[in-house]
Structure 1
Amino acid sequence: MTREQTKKIKIGSRVIGGGNPVAIQSMTNTRTEDVAATVGQILALEKAGCEIIRCAVPTMEAAESLAEIKKQIHIPLVADIHFDYRLAIAAIEHGADKIRINPGNIGDETKVRAVVEKAKAYHVPIRVGVNSGSLEKRLVEKYGGVTAEGLVESALEKVHMIEDMGYDQLVVSIKSSDVMMCVRAHERIAEVCPYPLHVGITESGTLLAGNIKSSIGLGLILSQGIGDTIRVSLTGSPVEEIKSARLILKTLGLRKGGIEVVSCPTCGRTKIDLIGLANQVEEMVQDIPLDDIKVAVMGCVVNGPGEAKEADIGIAGGIGEGLLIKKGEIIKKVKEEELLETLKQELLHWNE
């Protein structure tokens, strides 16, 4: 089912599904028991644009820490639980806005039911998660390996189990590090699943590999109208996940706002440190509250003005100097070392 057709699920103050905007998620990599460190990271993620945050809950102390963490943050908090159903129950009691479990590793049906009953009593949705690495042996044997069909069957079995227990506040995720398997699995489950889908390419890798794999996978899935919330899983700072997720959504036309930076790939005509300058510009615009502004960073004055025509504002480098360009028109010439600050001041006073 497409985003417009999925069931609406309330996660704290956020609603996903039913045509609501695709929500951006991340996961902390601090020890959840360390409240100060975890809160600090969540606040940084909020500033970057994170809309839902997930924390690992491997211990009872971690579950109990959620109550204090919740007091100090401003976005919904999801508790990630594996193996011990008691941690899921404790996480709900201590304020989790949603819990993430794999019913296949949480224990027998009695334990799953205990979690479901607690979630029902507290009106807390459950994310049913299935990963290719934890696919049941019988399904691996049935399909001759880990397959999209096996992932979908595993997820639907768990969904039906919880539905049979009288609960339907569910979010579903089926993840694989195999990009095309993940795409096929989402295409299949979207045909039959009425619940919002949490989409991501799991264990996608470092910043380079992870961004490429996530962009391809999420792009193919989201462009079909599938997916209600996303996480870009990267081996790196969670803040980088948010930056990537925002750019993926903006590139697909699913998110507006912010400043978009475009830059040329450099060539033999480039006489300035364009790579360094482009990175500085990208970092600088993160804290400027403008919406739908395109900034061009060009390496030479030969093609710079022409290439920047589609941008709202741009800079182009020369030999020890550069040009400030608005809508393709040269506005002024400044020294190279003044380019960044000149651009910054123009953006800060954009609406004046």
Structure 2
Amino acid sequence: MTGKRRPTRQIHIGQVVIGGGAPISVQSMTNTDTRDVEATVAQIARLAAAGCDIVRLAVPDQEAAAALAQIKARVTLPLIADIHFDYRLALAALEAGVDGLRLNPGNIGGPERVKAVVKAAAARRVPIRIGVNAGSLEKEALETYGGVTAAAMVASALKHVRLLEDLDYREIKISLKAAEVPLMLAAYRLMAAKVAYPLHLGVTEAGRGLEGAVKSAVGIGILLNEGIGDTIRVSLTGDPVQEVRAGFAILRSLGLRQQGIELISCPTCGRCQVNLEAVAARVQEELQDIKKPLKVAVMGCAVNGPGEARQADVGIAGGRGFGLLFRHGQPVRKVREEDLARVLIEEARRLAAEDPGEE
């Protein structure tokens, strides 16, 4: 990262610290029906195993709100309740013990209803995220600013912020998400110059798979490299575990988090003489549970392979039908091609077991 991190107020979502120089946290959101306690708990367990720091749950009705207490009792991750339109859902979520709320004060009712929610949140020291999305800006902001613009998004967010500040409540974080990266960048930059509240970064409705991950990495990565952003969510269609993996990949690439496996693997070319793609895929998948920072190299030829493998904590450099195993820069032994993935996985696990600590 080249930019100095923007100084912000600090808040706590459960045991996770956000802002004020704390490590940038990775969030995700369940896509189960919150009313289905078993399915939701199981998915949260998978997210926790992937390294997720905070998880958000949709709370569309009172049945979902009632399920929150059961879910909270069975998981370790801090929970954020996603609330729209009905202030009673926010009150029920707080009563259930959630660690954060995501809502817009302007769409949950009049001043008295906002005051009731803020009073209950303040009593529990539960932060509120004001989440503005480009796709759901209120009519007033659209008319004032001539459509969906960064200024309109920021004005909408600040209007909601003032509702909370007028109640002497400042346990706030803000998001300004858009599906278009340039719009998202402009909105966050503008907001960063106006307030000291922590910012939750994301490209909303980014898409699925590779395209969604790339879009998110560009938007989130640019801002993080400028020192803007305190917590992130990569919004991908599909399994939310992939959001967590993509989030950590973004942070690792900028040197902002050093948790888990960083896979270094060559793109392959005509010089590659082993089935590198299969080896890399197996290594990456089977080492996902390791939390210790480890750089693992899977290289396919003699040009760059030995050098990259030497610079990694553990790695292999392939040749015709075999590969060399490296550990901390030193060649360890020659390994047959069919054993490369297994041997590299075993060696990485040995390294992790020697010092299993994480950041």
| Normalised-by-shorter TM-score class | over 0.9
The residue aligned with 1:325 is: 326
The residue aligned with 2:64 is: 62
Moved more, 309-318 or 24-33: 309-318
The residue aligned with 1:283 is: 285
SS in 1 for 2:324: strand
Query: Matched residues in 2 for 1:191 and 1:306: separation?
Result: 44
The residue aligned with 2:108 is: 106
Q: Are 2:142 and 1:143 aligned?
A: no
The residue aligned with 1:115 is: 117
Moved more, 268-277 or 182-191: 268-277
Cα 1:332–1:193 shift into 2, 3 Å: same
The residue aligned with 1:6 is: 8
Moved more, 306-315 or 206-215: 306-315
The residue aligned with 2:230 is: 228
- AA of the residue aligned to 2:348: L
Relative to the length of structure 2, the TM-score reads 0.93
- AA of the residue aligned to 2:171: Q
Cα 1:288–1:123 shift into 2, 3 Å: closer
Residue 46 of structure 1, CA deviation: 0.6
Cα 1:255–1:303 shift into 2, 3 Å: closer
Residue 175 of structure 1, CA deviation: 0.7
Residue 7 of structure 1, CA deviation: 1.1
SS in 1 for 2:102: strand
Moved more, 173-182 or 307-316: 307-316
Give the counterpart of 1:130 among 123, 129, 132: 132
Point out where structure 1 has 5 or more consecutive residues left out of the alignment.
Answer: none
SS in 2 for 1:253: coil
SS in 2 for 1:315: strand
Task: Provide, for residues 258-285 of structure 1, a one-character-per-residue CA deviation record: whole Å limited to 9, x for no partner.
Answer: 2211100011122322111111111122
Residue 289 of structure 1, CA deviation: 4.5
Residue 4 of structure 1, CA deviation: 5.6
Instruction: Tell me how many residue pairs correspond in the alignment.
Output: 351
Cα 1:278–1:151 shift into 2, 3 Å: same
Cα 1:272–1:87 shift into 2, 3 Å: same
The residue aligned with 1:188 is: 190
Query: Matched residues in 2 for 1:38 and 1:23: separation?
Result: 21
Query: Matched residues in 1 for 2:302 and 2:224: separation?
Result: 38
Residue 167 of structure 1, CA deviation: 1.4
Task: Provide, for residues 57-81 of structure 1, a one-character-per-residue CA deviation record: whole Å limited to 9, x for no partner.
Answer: 0010111111111111112110001
Cα 1:270–1:22 shift into 2, 3 Å: same
Q: Are 2:55 and 1:88 aligned?
A: no
Q: Give yes or no for contact 1:3–1:20 (8 Å, CA) kept in 2.
A: no
SS in 2 for 1:297: strand
- AA of the residue aligned to 1:127: R
RMSD of aligned alpha carbons: 1.8
Relative to the length of structure 1, the TM-score reads 0.94
Cα 1:196–1:3 shift into 2, 3 Å: farther
Moved more, 210-219 or 297-306: 297-306
Query: Matched residues in 1 for 2:89 and 2:186: separation?
Result: 33
Identity of aligned residues (%): 54
Query: Matched residues in 1 for 2:308 and 2:219: separation?
Result: 30
Q: Are 2:22 and 1:20 aligned?
A: yes
SS in 2 for 1:290: coil
Query: Matched residues in 2 for 1:45 and 1:247: separation?
Result: 15
Residue 171 of structure 1, CA deviation: 1.2
Query: Matched residues in 2 for 1:274 and 1:112: separation?
Result: 57
Q: Are 2:127 and 1:156 aligned?
A: no
Q: Give yes or no for contact 1:301–1:323 (8 Å, CA) kept in 2.
A: no
Residue 32 of structure 1, CA deviation: 0.6
Moved more, 297-306 or 34-43: 297-306
Task: Provide, for residues 19-60 of structure 1, a one-character-per-residue CA deviation record: whole Å limited to 9, x for no partner.
Answer: 111111100000111111111111111111111110000010
Q: Give yes or no for contact 1:3–1:17 (8 Å, CA) kept in 2.
A: no
Q: Give yes or no for contact 1:305–1:329 (8 Å, CA) kept in 2.
A: no
Task: Provide, for residues 288-319 of structure 1, a one-character-per-residue CA deviation record: whole Å limited to 9, x for no partner.
Answer: 3532x321111224542134332232212233
Q: Give yes or no for contact 1:52–1:77 (8 Å, CA) kept in 2.
A: yes
Cα 1:287–1:120 shift into 2, 3 Å: closer
Q: Are 2:32 and 1:38 aligned?
A: no
Cα 1:89–1:289 shift into 2, 3 Å: closer
Q: Give yes or no for contact 2:6–2:228 (8 Å, CA) kept in 1.
A: no
